[in-house]
Amino acid sequence: MAAEQRAGAPAYQRIAATYRDQIRSGELTPGDRLPTEADIAARFGVVRQTVRNGLGVLITDGLIVARRPHGYFVRDREHMVYRPQQKSRPRPATPAMDRFSQQIVDEGRTPSQLIQVSLIQAGPDLAQRLGLDPGDAIVARRRVRLINGEPTNLNDSHFPLDLVKDSEIMSPAYLPRGTDQVLAELGHPQHHAIDEIFVRMPNPEEIHRLSLGPGTPVAVHYDTGYTADGRPVQCAVNVLPGDRHKIVFERHWPTTVTA
């Protein structure tokens, strides 16, 4: 790992490799502080700017964070489990909370959310998934979900306007039984869904809404729900910061595989 970096590699890459190795070997563990820029500069015989370039690599790789004026620290990461499959499980008779909230409480943490409902024009991505034309009016129900007060993921649900007009989906209140259920009550029960997951760096809006630091990629999960006759009735866009989630699902073999 460090070997390929040693020879004629630029100084900033050698610096990055040095501390990357220390982190991966466990010599530096999450929460540990790295030497100051000045110390590293002296140790490698370079100027501060070169050190900053090297540490910048580790920052964009998500391995460390800079906390002015305290120094650089090895980043910690704990993954909360995200289960796209469980969305479709029927819940107990009197659900007081949606699936997400229930899971958080089970883990002994405090969930909350900020909801904002607005009427927007569909962009190309949503229009295509909802079977509309770009520019058509849709209802966006945007949520930031927080755990212990910290933003954890985004869940923006989108509905064709004519399906949910004047329904409680358009109120920015928490719907304990979930929008799937409300949609079913409105006569649009969902029958199947297509999940698409993209991996990319977040855009500035996502960075802002989720308070993301540099070096944090996101998984973007498009969950498009269809009625039995194949009509799309909702498209949820979930944005999951990579440092806070792992996505889990299970598969069962349809028939026994025999030789």
Partner DNA sequence: TGGTCCAGATGGACTAGACAATTGAGACTG
Partner DNA sequence: CAGTCTCAATTGTCTAGTCCATCTGGACCA
Distance between CA atoms of 237 and 142, rounded to whole angstroms? 9
Residue 184 binds a second copy (CB under 8 A): yes
Q: Which does residue 66 touch among a second copy, DNA, none (CB within 5 to 8 A, set by kind)?
A: DNA
Residue 199 binds a second copy (CB under 8 A): yes
Distance between CA atoms of 248 and 92, rounded to whole angstroms? 22
Token pair for 52: 């900053």
Residue 94 binds a second copy (CB under 8 A): no
Contact with DNA (CB under 7 A): which of 1, 70, 251, 257? Answer: 70
Q: How many residues bind DNA (CB under 7 A)?
A: 23
Query: With contact defined as beta carbons under 8 Å apart, do 221 and 197 qualify?
Result: yes
Q: CA 139, 216, 142: angle at the middle one, nearest 5? A: 15
Only one of the segments 40-48, 114-122, 152-160, 212-220 lies at the binding site for a second copy (rule: CB under 8 A); that segment is 212-220
Residue 61 binds DNA (CB under 7 A): no
Residue 62 binds DNA (CB under 7 A): no
**Neighbour count for residue 116 (Cβ, 10 Å):** 11
> In this complex, which beta carbon is closest to DNA, that of residue 34 or of residue 144?
34
Q: Which does residue 52 touch among a second copy, DNA, none (CB within 5 to 8 A, set by kind)?
A: DNA
Query: Which of 224, 143, 215 has the alpha carbon at shortest distance from 191?
Result: 224
Residue 194 binds a second copy (CB under 8 A): yes
Residue 223, beta-bridge partner list: 195, 236
Contact with DNA (CB under 7 A): which of 2, 5, 22, 52? Answer: 52
Segment 9-68, which members bind a second copy (CB under 8 A)? 17, 20, 24, 56, 60-62
Enter the DSSP assignment of 116: E
Which residues have CB under 8 Å from 233's CB, separation 6+?
159, 160, 163, 183, 188, 190, 225, 226, 227
Residue 213 binds a second copy (CB under 8 A): no
Residue 7 binds a second copy (CB under 8 A): no
Query: Which of 242, 208, 248, 206 has the alpha carbon at shortest distance from 87?
Result: 248
Q: Kindly report the backbone phi and psi dihedral angles of residue 88, in degrees, each rounded to the nearest multiple of 5, phi listed first.
A: -90, -5
Segment 69-88, which members bind a second copy (CB under 8 A)? 79, 84-85, 87-88
Query: With contact defined as beta carbons under 8 Å apart, do 154 and 239 qualify?
Result: yes
Q: Which does residue 158 touch among a second copy, DNA, none (CB within 5 to 8 A, set by kind)?
A: none
Site residues (vs DNA, CB under 7 A): 10-13, 34, 36-38, 45-50, 52-53, 66-72
Site residues (vs a second copy, CB under 8 A): 1, 4-5, 17, 20, 24, 56, 60-62, 79, 84-85, 87-90, 180-181, 184-185, 189-201, 203-205, 208, 214-215, 217-219, 240, 242-243, 245-259
